[in-house]
Structures are given as C-alpha cells and as structure tokens.
C-alpha cells in the first residue's frame, strides 16, 4: 500500500473523509499527538487500526467528536460533572470516560462497557470529523510500544505501507497524549493518565481529584487496571532508558564517569555543554511545555546515538511535568536510580 502524506487543504480533507467513510484508516494531526483515525461505528475499520499499530486487543481507543451534539451518539449518559468539565476544557486535551452507547462496537472499547471521549481543538481534526459526520476512534499513530508521533514524518516512518494517507498538520502543540479521567457518581475525578490538562487545573473545576496508582507505579501482573493502556510497554526506544533522580552535578559526574561504556544522556537544554557522552536534549529545565513538545521526538532520536543505555534527567512532577514523568517512567520501564 502506498502511503500519501497530504497537506490538509479542503480537497485533501474531503479525500481523507472519503477514505474513512469507506472503512479505511487515516493518520491525523491533533493538538496532543498524531492519531490513527477510523469510524468509531465501523468495527472492521477499527480492527484495521489495531492491525496497523500492532496494538494489543485489550487496549481501548479514544473516540473523537467535533461538537457537543455528537456526545450522545457515543455516550449512553452524560453526568452533570462531565458537562461542566466539557464546557471548561473542550475542545482540548481532556478525555472523559462515559458509559458507552450501543452504537460503539466492542472493538473500540476492548469489550469494556465504557468509552473514552475527547473533543480535540485541532482545526484539521475537527474539519475531518465534521466532514465525515462520524465520531472517529483514534489511538496515537505510532507502532505499539514505540514513542508517540508528533509530526507527520514520525507517522510516515511508523506507518508507511500500513495506511493509505496521513494529513500533515505540522508539529503538535502539546506533544503529549490527552489527560484521561474517570468520574464517579459523586462527581469526583480519578486521573488515569496525566496530560496538558493538569491536576491543578482539574482541582479548580471539581472538589476531589485522585491520582490513580497506575499513573506513577508499575501495575502488577494479574491486577485489574482502571486504564488498560497502563499495563502495556509504552513510549520506548530500542535503547535502554534509565531515569537518574539526581542534582545536575551528581547527574553529570555519574554519566561522565561512564563515558566509554556505550552510555548516552537525555538532558535539558544547555546542560549538554558539560557532557562527555552522546546526548539528546528535551527542552529547558524550567519549561515543562517545551519538554512536553520535545519528549517523544527526543525519545525517537535516542536510537540514532548508537549507545546501549541512555540516562535521563528527572523532570519536575507538578503541572505538565507529571505527564512528562509518567511517559518517561514508562519509556524507562520504571527504572529510576536515585543518587
Ligand atoms: P492512546 O489511544 O494510545 O492515546 O491510548 C488511549 C488510552 O486511553 C489508553 O491508556 C487506554 O487505556 C485509555 N482508555 C481508553 N478507553 C478507556 C476506557 N473505556 N476506560 C479506561 N481507560 C480507557
Ligand atoms: Mg498510545
């Protein structure tokens, strides 16, 4: 299969919509990361997404809508808190879990009775959804286990020959997948995946926000995860990633003392001048939004360094930093060394 990379003109968006209407999968830009989109109502199209990604069947997809009017098509009931959160954070990088409507086939939700829904702010994603008139199921557009894709070129590298087309919307604004939340009957929020809608922002909107254990800890085999995606290997380059929880001087002296042992470093901007090993940078130490934008791109660049182990600087864990730490922890297979 030839994979076309298309500038998102009205004509190309119409072409992509046509592909989706006939049951195909298209790579699309969103403000979080690129997605692999198919009609959420079309079971066999959704199965093509799993095939293109090599995604485990038990990992459910997020359904994307482009107006609040589309929500009742996919969600069976809409709690008051969800309405308030949608009003405050949609369109944007927040995914809310609802009881699913009958029209959503089990392939989308991996057999769960709930469905994850998001209203993206990206104009191309919105235009495509509106053109098809369909809710689009779309996971991140990477091969399963690999870092997510934040440019059309990343999508092309992972998906060439697997999907017919990619809409090129440039680099993603946030560069990290959406925040995923679950609501209980009392309107309390459980955070399943941190993102650019931060815990601090959610706490301004609802009285109680609990961070699920799976956000920062490895889920033991055999335990039921609230978010099935937490069980799987994620975001990983081929190179072994290890996080060093250390001051900058301690980090530099540890890494430099291993300088001839196939070791590399993933550091914040400017810190590389003191390094004696190959490196990638991922934004300024005091700029979590820049780190978010660069994280997956940097993880993708790691394998080109030709080292066996990459030691990464520890991000801060408040605000968007929590999301960066969550992704990096998984990329590192939870390997953190405290110096
Ligand atoms: P991705 O599509 O790669 O952004 O991953 C989607 C994330 O949303 C995964 O971590 C899933 O586990 C999570 N997710 C999707 N649907 C549900 C659901 N019904 N309940 C809980 N988590 C979900
Ligand atoms: Mg993903």
| DSSP collapsed to 3 states, 84-136 | HHHHHHCCCCEEEEEEECCCCCHHHHCCCCEEEEECCCCHHHHHHHHHHCCCE
Q: Look at residues 86, 319, 34, 27 and name the one whose alpha carbon lies nearest to residue 196.
A: 319
For the segment 60-86, what is each residue's pLDDT rounded down to a tens digit?
Answer: 999 999 999 999 999 999 999 999 999
Taking the centre of ligand 1 as the mean of its atom positions, its distance from the CA of residue 180, in whole angstroms, is: 7
Q: Look at residues 130, 142, 146 and name the one whose alpha carbon lies nearest to residue 166.
A: 142
R_g of the chain computed on alpha carbons: 20
For residue 37 and ligand 1, the question of a CB distance below 6 A is answered with: no
Output the pTM of the full model. Answer: 0.96
Please identify, by atom number, the ligand 1 atom nearest to the C-alpha of residue 140.
3
- Token reading at 142: 């990477």
- What is the pLDDT at residue 260? 82
Q: Helix (H, G, I), strand (E, B), or coil: what is residue 155?
A: helix
Q: Which amino acid residue places its CA nearest to atom 7 of ligand 1?
A: 229
Please identify, by atom number, the ligand 1 atom nearest to the C-alpha of residue 177.
4
Q: Please, are residues 216 and 329 in contact by the beta-carbon 8 Å criterion?
A: yes
Q: Please, are residues 29 and 128 in contact by the beta-carbon 8 Å criterion?
A: no
- What is the pLDDT at residue 131? 98
Q: Please, are residues 307 and 263 in contact by the beta-carbon 8 Å criterion?
A: yes
Choose one of 116, 175, 225, 234 to mutate for the ligand 1 pocket test, by most ligand atoms within 8 angstroms of C-beta: 116
Please state, in angstroms and as integers, the Cα–Cα distance from residue 157 to each residue in 143, 202, 277, following that order. Answer: 10, 35, 27
Choose one of 97, 125, 227 to mutate for the ligand 1 pocket test, by most ligand atoms within 8 angstroms of C-beta: 227
User: Which residues 6+ apart lie within 8 Å of 28 measured at CB?
Assistant: 16, 34, 35, 36, 37, 124, 125, 128, 136, 138, 141, 166, 167, 169
- What is the pLDDT at residue 227? 80
Q: What does pLDDT average to in each consecutive run of 10 residues of the chain (339 residues)? A: 97 98 98 98 98 93 98 97 97 98 97 98 98 98 94 98 98 98 94 98 96 90 75 82 96 94 95 96 96 96 94 96 96 94
The neighbour count for residue 133, using CB atoms within 10 Å, is: 12
For residue 153 and ligand 1, the question of a CB distance below 6 A is answered with: no
Edge-first strand order for the sheet with 263-267 is 279-281, 263-267, 309-313, 240-245, 336-338
Q: Which residues of 30-45 are buried (b: 16+ CB within 10 A; e: fewer)?
A: bbbbbbbbbbbbbeeb
- Phi, psi values for residue 5, rounded to 5°: -105, 120
For residue 195 and ligand 1, the question of a CB distance below 6 A is answered with: no
- What is the pLDDT at residue 231? 67
């Amino acid at each position: 299969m030839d994979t076309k990379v298309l500038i998102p003109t009205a004509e190309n968006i119409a072409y992509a919509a046509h592909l989706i209407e006939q049951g195909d999968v298209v790579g699309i830009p969103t403000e979080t990361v690129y997605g692999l989109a198919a009609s959420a109502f079309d079971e066999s199209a959704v199965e093509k997404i799993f095939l293109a990604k090599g995604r485990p069947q038990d990992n459910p997809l997020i359904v994307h809508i482009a107006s609040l009017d589309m929500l009742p098509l996919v969600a069976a009931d809409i709690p008051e808190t969800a309405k308030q959160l949608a009003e405050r954070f949609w369109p944007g990088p927040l995914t809310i879990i609802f009881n699913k409507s009958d029209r959503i086939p089990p392939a989308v939700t991996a057999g769960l009775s709930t469905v994850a829904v998001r209203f993206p702010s990206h104009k191309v994603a919105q235009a495509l959804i509106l053109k098809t008139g369909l809710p689009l199921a779309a996971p991140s557009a990477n091969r399963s286990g690999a870092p997510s894709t934040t440019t059309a070129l990343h999508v092309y590298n992972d998906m060439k020959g697997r999907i017919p087309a990619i809409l090129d919307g440039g680099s993603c604004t946030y560069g990290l997948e959406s925040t995923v939340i679950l609501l209980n009957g009392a309107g309390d929020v459980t955070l399943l995946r941190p993102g650019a809608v931060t815990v601090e922002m959610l706490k301004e909107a609802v009285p109680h926000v609990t961070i699920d254990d799976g956000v920062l800890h490895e889920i033991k085999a055999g335990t039921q995860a609230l978010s099935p995606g937490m069980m799987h290997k994620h975001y990983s380059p081929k190179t072994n990633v290890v996080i060093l929880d250390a001051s900058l001087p301690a980090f530099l002296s540890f890494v430099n003392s291993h300088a001839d042992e196939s070791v590399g470093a993933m550091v914040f901007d400017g810190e590389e001048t003191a390094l004696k090993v190959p490196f990638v940078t991922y934004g300024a130490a005091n700029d979590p939004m820049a780190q978010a934008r660069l994280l997956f791109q940097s993880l993708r660049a790691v394998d080109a360094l030709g080292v066996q182990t990459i030691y990464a600087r520890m991000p801060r864990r408040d605000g968007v930093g929590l999301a960066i730490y969550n992704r990096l922890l998984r990329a590192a297979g939870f390997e953190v060394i405290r110096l």
